[in-house]
A and B are shown apart, each in its own frame.
Chain A
């Protein structure tokens, strides 16, 4: 009985990223947070978009007094001191850095301290809203989380970046598990798409590593199975747009060997834009709108460890 309670109490960290900017990462993070808080979970949102924080705005909070930069800069001792209560019960926020120019590029020690403090926090769910791009900091936050969630739009640019993100995150994870410097160099070289060794896909890389060091190769294969990023397609307008998620899932499986889990999609609706304009969260302002419903469904899928299947659509 106690074990069950412990398992229930275990806190989960979700990170929401996606490579491209302006695809709704903050909006989705914020509204997932509200949905979870409504389910009586204690939720902490962390704006880890260090260069361009605006999660507070999607929640309708003005520029906060205490932000992550106070913590990173050691103006405060613990992360507890920068946590702000929101008007929504059970939901609190660590706002992103506002002023500190260098905060966009915290050094290793700063990042480690942040992650360490996050682990000690008392909450059911900690949601990290990541910034755009595939910089090491972003990838590390993504890999640190229990669930790494990718957002894409049904647009070529966003999809390209999502693949790039998956690949980068995956190679970075690889690099962390292998110890041999040779293999690390090999992974670095493989990141270059036009590398001279003919390594184009993670398959090629693993095969090459298996030739060099069979044991590391097998370890990496295991690692590949464990890496299960999750996918949300945002701003869906047609059935074909929904289909893109399935295509990406299958293509990832067959090209990268990575199991991408298709959590769900968020329908396009003007009410999202209106809610942002009015600086009121979507799930509060339009709780029965289709996008808000979609987000609820996504949350349920994560909680039940389920994903979208094609048979639900046709």
Chain B
């Protein structure tokens, strides 16, 4: 009945019921992220910096698993299974569990300056054994050739996560038309730059990225076409 934070399932972590709607999940995620905001003065005396990082990572994992219908179904099935026999991981030492809370998907690790993930990069280490966290649709690792977020790269990243344009539209409240235009880089059909910026932020969040780099790189491409530097 009383559980350690490492043992909370994703629903308990987000403080929602197992039949929560996707809107509830969005809201819970927003709320819980504010609660565990890494610089919060309410946390540092209880949780160490690493623990806060790991909690935040788990919150991300939980959100990303529950928000997509497919991965949520898989996770629910896993939960139901683990109800009969206690999860094999329950006895695993703490340190190992913490490690498993680290991301299994490449999602955020693109950013070298990401403060959430300072200790998440060791890719050489053997992958942890399958855990609930693995139910996230594991995207292909991003090819190292990607140096820029172009429209086609965005599309590829979206498809890696098996998110359809329709789902993305639901998540971001963007029209499917605009998502298509963004991915096709049909700059002239897209709305003015400030609106586009907002769209891209939403897109980035849906993919699980810090928006800054994605938005800037995309807008640079946009500017090159739409606002070419004035020639003499």
Q: Which residues in A have some Cβ–Cβ distance to B below 8 Å?
A: 154-156, 159-160, 163, 201, 203, 206, 221, 224-225, 243-244, 246-248, 250-251, 254-255, 257, 310, 314
Contacts and interface: CB of A to CB of B under 8 A. Distances in A.
Given A159-B42, A251-B46, 4 more contacts: A163-B46, A221-B2, A224-B2, A255-B47
Interface of B: 1-2, 4-5, 8, 15, 31-32, 34-37, 40-47, 55
Given A203-B4, A250-B15, A254-B8, A154 B41 contact: yes
B31 A160 contact: no
Nearest to A243: B34
Contacts, number: 55
A257 B37 CA distance: 20
A244 B2 contact: no
Contacts of A224: 2
Contacts of B45: 156, 159-160, 163
Contacts of B43: 247, 251
Interface of A is mostly: helix
Nearest to A160: B45
Contacts of B34: 243, 246-247
Contacts of B35: 243, 246-247, 250-251
The 3 residue pairs across chains A and B that have the minimum distance between CB atoms: A247-B42, A254-B5, A255-B46
A206 B4 CA distance: 11
Nearest to B55: A254
Nearest to A258: B2
Q: Which of A155, A224, A225, A255 has the most CB of B within 10 A?
A: A255
Contacts of A159: 41-42, 45
Q: Name which of A155, A156, A225, A251 has the most chain B CB atoms within 10 A of its CB.
A: A251
A154 B34 CA distance: 15
A251 B47 contact: yes
Contacts of B42: 159, 244, 247-248, 251
- B4, B15, B55 — most chain A CB neighbours (10 Å): B4
Contacts of A246: 31, 34-35
B40 A244 contact: yes
Nearest to B40: A247
Which of B5, B40, B41, B55 has most A Cβ within 10 Å?
Answer: B41
Contact of B2 (A155, A243, A251, A257): A257
Nearest to A152: B42
B50 to A, nearest CB: 14
Contacts of A257: 2
A159 B15 CA distance: 23
Nearest to B1: A221
A221 B3 CA distance: 11
Contacts of A244: 40-42
B2 A206 contact: yes
A225 B15 CA distance: 17
Contacts of B5: 254-255
A296 B48 CA distance: 37
